[in-house]
């Protein structure tokens, strides 16, 4: 089990149809248009570890989360879970039990009309993990105390909890089917910092205790540094840098990773004066040709403008950058 990848993405591409409705398209004389949210993405996650994906809005990180749990089917490429393709594993019913998701907004992801104990008990009943009502209740109480809530909290409705407590309920629900793999899509972005610390600590405790594997999606590099074993940096649908988190934080190679790390306001930089990189993230509907980052990149040359770089080994990590490959960085 030690080094076996639990989840593998092999050359995954996913597109969304963003065309106008047929009649308007006809009148405007326009072709169908596709938004390539995820472009030829390959990575794997070892059991018991955390891989984080980080990037700005529109980079495709949430689409990857949804591809993992089967909310989207990829256009191209193959996703493998515990060695089986996702389709096979789903047929065996294993994915639904062993993989679960924690969402960003704990206000939208809990049914407001259900008591918390019912919310947490549903997966237990669905997979028939306990035989009778009293053992289901005991299981729910155990889960509640595992995430730091009182067993009596099960009788309450979601609106009676604060944001952080709701996220604890979401985690209890995600754990109730005894999963081995959790997809966490910005689990603390809606929370205040002191509550965020509680949830991040809880998630790491649970990982250690239950041997969980996390795919952790976030835009916050500081949070990612705290949580990750491995890290993938995404820009406009592609992974531009992938490797051990500590290595990347200590020595970022891709110009975009450096920009991101440099852009974060940090407590250690009181009153820092800086020269930020200009430009916005381009629209994913019409990404720039070649390397998608070239319009903002200080190292871009003619090759970068026409040829998209592949993810190549560079000094222990993988980087998709011509400048790094050519030694210009």
Partner 1 sequence: MTPLLDVRDLIVEFPTRHGVLRALDHISFSIAQGEILGVVGESGAGKSLTGAAIVGLLTPPGRIGGGSIHLDGERIDNLPAEPLRRIRGRRIGMIFQDPLTTLNPLLRIGRQLTETMRTHLDLTEVAARERAAEWLERVGIPDPRRRLDAWPHEFSGGQRQRVVIALALCAEPELVIADEPTTALDVSVQAQIITLLKTLTRESGVSVMLVTHDMGVIAETADRVAVMYAGRIAEIGPVAQVIRHPAHPYTDGLMGSIPTVEHRAERLRQIDGSMPRLDAIPSGCAFHQRCGFAFDRCSDEQPGLMEAGATRAACWLRAPEAAHG
**Min separation Cβ 85 and partner 1, Å:** 34
**Min separation Cβ 52 and partner 1, Å:** 12
Give the residue with the Cβ less far from partner 1, 246 or 313: 246
Q: Where are the beta strands (DSSP E) in 236-326?
A: 238-244, 312-314, 317-319
Give the residue with the Cβ less far from partner 1, 17 or 268: 268
Strand partners, 314: 317
Give the residue with the Cβ less far from partner 1, 261 or 329: 261
**Min separation Cβ 111 and partner 1, Å:** 22
Distances in whole angstroms, Cα of residue 272 to Cα of each of 61, 225, 262: 30, 21, 11
**Number of H-type helices and E-type strands within the chain:** 13, 12
Contact residues for partner 1, defined by CB under 8 A: 56-57, 162-165, 192-198, 200-201, 204, 219-223, 225-226, 246, 249, 259-272, 274-278, 280-281
Q: What span, in angstroms and rounded, lies between the C-alpha atoms of 191 and 290?
A: 38
**Min separation Cβ 42 and partner 1, Å:** 25
**Min separation Cβ 280 and partner 1, Å:** 5
b/e map of 243-253 (b: 16 or more CB within 10 Å)? bebebbeeebb
Q: What span, in angstroms and rounded, lies between the C-alpha atoms of 90 and 96?
A: 7
Contact partners, residue 282, CB within 8 Å, separation at least 6: 236, 288, 292, 295
Give the residue with the Cβ less far from partner 1, 195 or 308: 195
Q: What span, in angstroms and rounded, lies between the C-alpha atoms of 80 and 91?
A: 13
Give the residue with the Cβ less far from partner 1, 69 or 245: 245
**Min separation Cβ 265 and partner 1, Å:** 3
Strand partners, 234: 239
Give the residue with the Cβ less far from partner 1, 175 or 227: 227
Give the residue with the Cβ less far from partner 1, 135 or 283: 283
**Min separation Cβ 277 and partner 1, Å:** 6
Q: What span, in angstroms and rounded, lies between the C-alpha atoms of 253 and 154?
A: 48
**Residue 310: helix, strand or coil by DSSP?**
coil
């Amino acid at each position: 089990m030690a080094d076996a990848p639990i989840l593998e993405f092999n050359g995954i591409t996913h597109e969304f149809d963003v065309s106008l409705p047929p009649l308007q398209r006809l009148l405007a004389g326009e072709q169908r248009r596709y938004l390539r949210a995820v472009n030829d993405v390959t990575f794997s996650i070892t059991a018991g570890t955390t891989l984080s994906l980080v990037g700005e809005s529109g980079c495709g990180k949430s689409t990857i989360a949804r591809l993992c749990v089967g909310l989207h089917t990829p256009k191209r490429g193959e996703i493998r879970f515990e060695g089986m393709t996702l389709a096979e594993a789903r047929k065996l019913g294993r994915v639904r039990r062993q993989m679960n998701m924690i969402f960003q907004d704990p206000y939208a992801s809990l049914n407001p009309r259900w008591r918390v104990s019912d919310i947490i008990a549903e997966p237990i009943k669905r997979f028939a993990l306990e035989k009778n009502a009293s053992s289901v209740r005991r299981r729910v109480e155990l889960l509640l105390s595992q995430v730091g809530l009182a067993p009596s909290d099960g009788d309450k409705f979601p609106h009676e909890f604060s944001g952080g407590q709701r996220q604890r309920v979401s985690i209890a629900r995600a754990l109730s089917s005894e999963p081995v793999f959790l997809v966490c899509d910005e689990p603390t972005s809606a929370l205040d910092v002191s509550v965020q610390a509680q949830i991040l600590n809880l998630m790491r405790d649970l990982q250690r205790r239950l041997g969980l594997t996390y795919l952790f999606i976030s835009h916050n590099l500081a949070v990612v540094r705290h949580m990750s074993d491995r890290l993938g940096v995404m820009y406009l649908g592609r992974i531009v840098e992938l490797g051990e988190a500590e290595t990347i934080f200590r020595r970022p190679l891709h110009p975009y990773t450096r920009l991101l790390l440099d852009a974060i306001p940090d407590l250690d930089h009181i009153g820092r004066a800086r020269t930020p990189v200009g430009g916005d993230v381009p629209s994913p509907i019409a990404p720039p040709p070649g390397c998608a980052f070239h319009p903002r990149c200080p190292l871009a040359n003619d090759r970068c403008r026409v040829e998209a770089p592949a993810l190549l080994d560079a000094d222990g990590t993988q980087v998709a950058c011509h400048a790094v490959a050519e030694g210009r960085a």
